[in-house]
Chain A
Amino acid sequence: MTTTPTSRSLVPVLEVDDVSVTFGGRAVLDHVSFEIAPGEFTGLIGSNGVGKTTLLRVILGLQKTTSGTIRVLGQPLRHRSRSLGYVPQKVILDPDVPLRARDLVALGVDAHRFGLRRRSREDKDRVEEMLDAVDALGFADARVGSLSGGEQQRVLIAHALISRPSLLLLDEPLANLDPKSVQEIVALLHRVSVQHDVAVLLSAHEMNALLPVMDRIVYVTNGKAASGTTEEVVRTDVLSELYGHHVDVLQLHGRVLVVAEPSADTDHLPSHATLHLD
């Protein structure tokens, strides 16, 4: 179905309504609800093992729910939708897999089609455009298996973006990256989100790198989720309650500083984190 610009701006790109998932009697997700508006940049924040990946798999239709519904652009998620782009956490490829970065991006256009076809001039231009959008032109002809984690991440983002999704889901894209690559990927995701008018939902166990670009936070802990705008959530009282541990949110020379007292159960939150407010 097609959506007009007006209806698109009104209908949430994603509605998660009262979703529960139970594994062997244990509630992994417990009545989780939240919405994402078109173009919104949302962080799905929580420590390892709280159900972030399960929630992403539910949204993608890869995990059955015990109860609740998912709607993408107002439509129930009965058939897995191409309105969703997905970048998985880890892709393991042999270094000698005969596939260049540009081949993987091109598969985003036609991977689901049967039979052989010659890619059109238009398809090739679009691949080039996507490689450019994620700063991957420099290694477009290298084998994907020989790329670094951050480079593979970019190629997978381009692969997901090329089918023009309304929502891009990324599972822990910042894990296993060095601090410089983390900043580059966050800036890049923010840029493509604005330029390609796509909402972003990415999971992370640490919010600091995302604070400058995040519109909304969905915070997951023990299977329950709380959602709000970044201003609503990044506050001393709210963060302290969510972490179950005292956290200070300080304003200092126009920057926001999240400071937690060091302790064993807050190792996912560094003791010092900074945020620029523009």
Chain B
Amino acid sequence: MFSGFMLNAWESGTLVAIVAGIVGFFVVLRGSAFPAHAIPNGAFAGAAGANLIGINPLLGLGLFSLLAALGIGSWGRRGRPDVVTALALVLMLALGAAFLSQSSAYEPEIYALLFGEILGVSSSQLVPLMALGVICAIAIAVLYRPLLVTSLIPDVAAAHGMSTTTIDTAFLIIVAMATTMTVPVVGALLIFTLMMGPPAAARSLSSRPSLALGLSVVIAVGVMWASIASAFQWNWPVGFFVGTYSAIAYAIARLISLRPRTRTRTLYRAHTH
């Protein structure tokens, strides 16, 4: 379970989980779930297109994620963001369908793009994964407080001269980079769950932003390790386990958080009045 090709799976899975935990924390905070769903689907079309013209799928993934992020960012500001995101999503799925119909890709390759093929990650993929992950983490660290404040009190941030649109676009580009590195591992349809479940679980468990961010990473890595072990054990797609375990982690966190939080709140009330 920990040798040969499995070692690549553990390493790439851990990298992907760390990045999803960090970036996903802000996806949930900013209410960007829909773009975070649309961008990986666009990325899927890019990989299919790259396959068609015979270049590295990672290049197609990266290019299409970036285009989707910039398109959603700039057009969404001028119209209704949800409509723009939805249209970007269907447009790219349509392109993906067209590319696939023209290409000679084997069905398993397409299946891997959609649902992930962590057991098929090769050593040569690890270096670009690592590089993208480090860039994402550094970008989030640099933008940490501006991201917080523009998510929570955008008017106040703007009044102090912060460009909320620039921060917004920068964040979507970070989501695009995170997508590019994670799609080959967990698949376009299921990376979304890893960016939502663990961060949403974490914020139920801690009221401190830095602690919630840390917990988000810990839960994402835990979900990923459990998923790889399960995929190895039962030979089902790793994406299935990532999706299921993310949802379970969220449900457990909500259950844990419900009672203590109500009690704390009542105490504050009793104390102040």
Contacts and interface: CB of A to CB of B under 8 A. Distances in A.
Interface of A: 60-62, 79-82, 84, 86-88, 91, 93, 96-100, 103-104, 107, 110-116, 138-139, 141-144, 146, 156, 159-160
Contacts, number: 99
Contact of A98 (B156, B161, B162, B208): B208
B148 interface: yes
Interface stretch (B1-9, B64-72, B103-111, B137-145): B137-145
11 contacts: A60-B159, A62-B159, A86-B155, A97-B203, A100-B207, A107-B152, A112-B146, A115-B141, A115-B142, A138-B272, A141-B207
Given A107-B149, A138-B271, A96 B203 contact: yes
A103 B208 contact: yes
B142 A114 contact: yes
Interface string B251-273: 00000010001001100100110
B212 interface: yes
A79 B265 contact: no
B160 interface: yes
A139 B257 CA distance: 18
Given A88-B155, A112-B146, A112-B160, A98 B272 contact: no
Q: Is the interface of A mostly helix, strand, loop or mixed?
A: loop
B171 to A, nearest CB: 14
A253 B212 CA distance: 58
Interface in B183-225: 202-204, 206-209, 211-212
Nearest to A140: B268
Nearest to B151: A97
A91 B156 CA distance: 10
Contacts of B157: 111-112
Contacts of A96: 203-204, 257
Interface residues of B, number: 35
Contacts of A110: 145
B98 interface: no
A103 B157 CA distance: 15
Contacts of A60: 158-159
Contact of A62 (B149, B155, B264): B155
A143 B206 CA distance: 10
B250 to A, nearest CB: 11
Contact of A142 (B146, B149, B211, B265): B265
Contacts of A82: 160-161
Nearest to A89: B155
A156 B152 CA distance: 11
Contacts of A113: 145
Contacts of B29: 97-98
A100 B209 CA distance: 8
A84 B159 contact: yes
Query: Which are the 3 A-B pairs with shortest beta-carbon distances?
Result: A98-B212, A80-B161, A111-B149
A61 B155 CA distance: 11
B127 interface: no
Interface in B128-179: 141-146, 148-149, 152-153, 155-162
